[in-house]
């Protein structure tokens, strides 16, 4: 967009002092954030909202030595464009309210849930997403709910091109994955970090429904020496998990296992784990006996994900967990956290319980 330049007073310093002067200008409330600094001949010129007063110049020179002042033409920063702004004028006005306010971006692939009346305009919406998010290469629309053992959904290309395989970055980790072949949700990013931050050096972890590895790999990167068995029954999840272990340099700390979680535990992972992660909310309750078998005899932590409804989803999740643990012949020693992870429908939530099991 051709934005014309604007004359502004400036403070100029040598490049190596740029971050310090920026701090001082912010403290003084002098920095004009609407314009881009200018870099020339080893100097950085910072645009100001007004000419600095005498005492402000003294503060700057006291903290930074000699500074250069003057006026120059600065280029305004482009305001980030919003999806609705891009669509207004091309989408019928009565449909504007239906345009989703948010969508998922996994690597360079965007995934959007389109309400029925917007389907005839899907390529318009897809192109608008690409205009707003320059890094998005392909836009897919959700074609149905997540279903089946592998927790996948139909995805329909609506704009852009290229494969559904992408590389996603989360908390400093790299995840290669195919959004059409494996489950991955950037909406779980906080959960991945929350659980990983509890893991301590030396722990043995069982990630029962590991997908492409976001819990185990982050835990191993953060805690260092751990042994995380990352199990998934989907061969594609295993395929990418194995690659991600190498990409994130956690070989030997995260062990990918292609198996049903019950079979994996019963054929060799009994009584080993300090911590079990159960991120399969629609079915995790069916695996509580297996999770208890995987825990060490002295006990350990279970991160239990489930779906629960109003009026008290947290209480419902706690009850399901306590009953399952009880049936397995163990008991809940302490509940360390219960939280709603996200809404999944009217009056229904994904809930997580962190429980210490004896
Ligand atoms: C909701 S996804 C979670 C993936 C991952 N934990 C994450 O946060 O992205 C659940 C995963 O469990 C796997 N799964 C389903 N049933 C399983 C089973 N019986 N044993 C092992 N994995 C299973 C699916 O293939 C899917 O990758």
For residue range 38-83, list pLDDT tens digits in order.
998 899 999 999 999 988 999 999 888 888 999 999 998 877 678 8
201 alpha carbon – ligand 1 mean position (Å): 25
Ligand 1 atom index nearest CA of 191: 8
Domain membership of residue 125 (yes or no) is: yes
Ligand 1 atom index nearest CA of 305: 1
Q: Is the predicted pLDDT of residue 132 greater than 60, yes or no?
A: yes
Question: Do 19 and 155 have their domain in common?
Answer: no
Backbone angles phi, psi at 258, to 5 degrees: -95, 105
234 alpha carbon – ligand 1 mean position (Å): 8
Backbone angles phi, psi at 292, to 5 degrees: -65, -35
Q: Can you give the pLDDT at residue 82?
A: 85
Q: Check whether the bond before 311 is cis (ω within 30° of 0).
A: yes
Average pLDDT of every residue of the chain: 94
Domain membership of residue 244 (yes or no) is: yes
CATH of the domain at 92: 3.30.300.110
Question: Do 36 and 126 have their domain in common?
Answer: no
Confidence of residue 130 (pLDDT cuts 50, 70, 90): very high
Average pLDDT over residues 229-248: 98
Q: Rounded distance, CA 204 to CA 191, Å? A: 19
For residue range 271-309, list pLDDT tens digits in order.
999 999 999 999 999 999 999 999 999 999 999 999 999
Domain membership of residue 257 (yes or no) is: yes
Q: Which residue is closest in CA terms to ligand 1's atom 4? A: 211
Domain membership of residue 206 (yes or no) is: yes
Question: Do 14 and 103 have their domain in common?
Answer: no
Q: Which residue is closest in CA terms to ligand 1's atom 7? A: 211
Question: Do 146 and 58 have their domain in common?
Answer: no
75-97 per-residue burial string, b: 16 or more CB within 10 A, e: under 16:
ebeeeeeebeebbeeebeeeeee
Q: Can you give the pLDDT at residue 170?
A: 94
CATH of the domain at 193: 3.40.50.150
> Is the separation of the CB atoms in 265 and 290 below 8 Å?
yes
Question: Do 157 and 260 have their domain in common?
Answer: no
* Residue 32 belongs to domain spanning: 6-74
Q: Can you give the pLDDT at residue 331?
A: 96
Residue 140's DSSP bridge partners are 111, 157
Q: How many structural domains is the chain composed of?
A: 3
Question: Residue 218: which of 237, 192, 191 has the closest Cα?
Answer: 192
Domain membership of residue 207 (yes or no) is: yes
Domain membership of residue 1 (yes or no) is: no
Question: Do 140 and 280 have their domain in common?
Answer: no
280 alpha carbon – ligand 1 mean position (Å): 6
Question: Do 66 and 121 have their domain in common?
Answer: no
HEC sequence for 173-237: EEEEEECCCCCCCHHHHHHHHHHHCCCCCCCEEEECCCCCCHHHHHHHHHHCCCEEEEEECCHHH
Average pLDDT over residues 197-203: 94
In the chain, helix, strand, coil percent, each to 5?
Answer: 35, 35, 35
Q: Is the predicted pLDDT of residue 1 greater than 50, yes or no?
A: no
Question: Do 224 and 188 have their domain in common?
Answer: yes
Tell whether ligand 1 has an atom less than 6 A from the beta carbon of residue 344.
no
Q: Can you give the pLDDT at residue 136?
A: 97
Q: Rounded distance, CA 284 to CA 295, Å? A: 15
217 alpha carbon – ligand 1 mean position (Å): 15
Domain finish residue from 41, 74, 107: 74
- Give the Cβ contact number of residue 170 at 10 Å: 17
> Is the separation of the CB atoms in 83 and 129 below 8 Å?
yes
**Pocket perturbation via mutation, ligand 1, pick of 183, 188, 193 by most ligand atoms within 8 A of CB:** 183
Tell whether ligand 1 has an atom less than 6 A from the beta carbon of residue 237.
yes
pTM of the model: 0.80
Q: Which residue is closest in CA terms to ligand 1's atom 1? A: 280
Domain membership of residue 153 (yes or no) is: yes
* Kind and range of the H or E run holding 18: helix 18-28
For helices 54-64 and 18-28, give the axis angle rounded to 10 degrees: 150
Domain finish residue from 102, 131, 162: 162
Domain membership of residue 217 (yes or no) is: yes
Q: Which two tokens stand for residue 249?
A: 């340099």
Backbone angles phi, psi at 168, to 5 degrees: -110, 140
For residue range 139-190, list pLDDT tens digits in order.
999 998 999 999 999 999 999 999 999 999 999 999 999 999 999 999 999 9
Q: Which residue is closest in CA terms to ligand 1's atom 9? A: 184
Question: Do 131 and 41 have their domain in common?
Answer: no
Tell whether ligand 1 has an atom less than 6 A from the beta carbon of residue 160.
no
Q: Rounded distance, CA 241 to CA 255, Å? A: 9
Average pLDDT over residues 326-346: 95
**Pocket perturbation via mutation, ligand 1, pick of 209, 218, 278, 286 by most ligand atoms within 8 A of CB:** 209
Tell whether ligand 1 has an atom less than 6 A from the beta carbon of residue 286.
no
């Amino acid at each position: 967009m051709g934005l014309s330049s604007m004359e502004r007073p400036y403070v100029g310093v040598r490049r190596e002092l740029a971050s310090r002067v920026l701090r001082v200008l912010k403290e003084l409330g002098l920095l004009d954030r609407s314009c881009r600094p200018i870099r020339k001949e080893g100097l950085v010129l910072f645009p100001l909202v007004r000419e600095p007063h005498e005492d402000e110049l003294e503060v700057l020179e006291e903290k930074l030595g000699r500074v250069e002042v003057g006026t120059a033409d600065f280029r305004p920063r482009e305001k980030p464009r919003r999806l609705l702004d891009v669509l207004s004028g091309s989408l019928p006005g009565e449909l504007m309210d239906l345009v989703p306010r948010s969508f998922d971006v996994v690597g360079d692939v965007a995934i959007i849930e389109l309400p029925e009346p917007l389907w005839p305009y899907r390529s318009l919406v897809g192109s608008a997403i690409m205009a707003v998010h320059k890094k998005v290469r392909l836009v897919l629309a959700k074609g149905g709910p997540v279903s089946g053992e592998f927790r996948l959904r139909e995805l329909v290309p609506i704009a852009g091109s290229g494969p559904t395989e992408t590389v996603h970055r989360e908390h400093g980790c790299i995840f290669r994955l195919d959004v059409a072949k494996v489950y991955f949700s950037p909406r779980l990013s906080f959960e991945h970090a929350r659980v990983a931050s509890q893991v301590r050096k030396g722990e043995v972890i069982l990630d029962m429904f590991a997908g492409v590895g976001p819990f185990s790999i982050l835990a191993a990167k953060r805690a260092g020496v751990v042994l995380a068995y990352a199990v998934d029954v989907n061969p594609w999840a295993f395929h990418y998990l194995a690659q991600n272990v190498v990409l994130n340099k956690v070989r030997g700390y995260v062990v990918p296992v292609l198996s049903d979680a019950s079979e994996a535990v019963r054929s060799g992972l009994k009584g080993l784990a300090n911590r079990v992660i159960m991120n399969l909310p629609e079915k995790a309750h069916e695996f509580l006996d297996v999770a208890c078998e995987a825990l060490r005899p002295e006990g350990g932590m279970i991160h239990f994900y489930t779906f629960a409804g109003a009026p008290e989803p947290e209480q419902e999740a706690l009850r399901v967990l306590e009953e399952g643990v009880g049936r397995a012949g163990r008991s809940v020693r302490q509940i360390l956290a219960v939280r709603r992870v996200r809404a999944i429908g009217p009056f229904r939530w994904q809930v997580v319980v962190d429980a210490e099991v004896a």
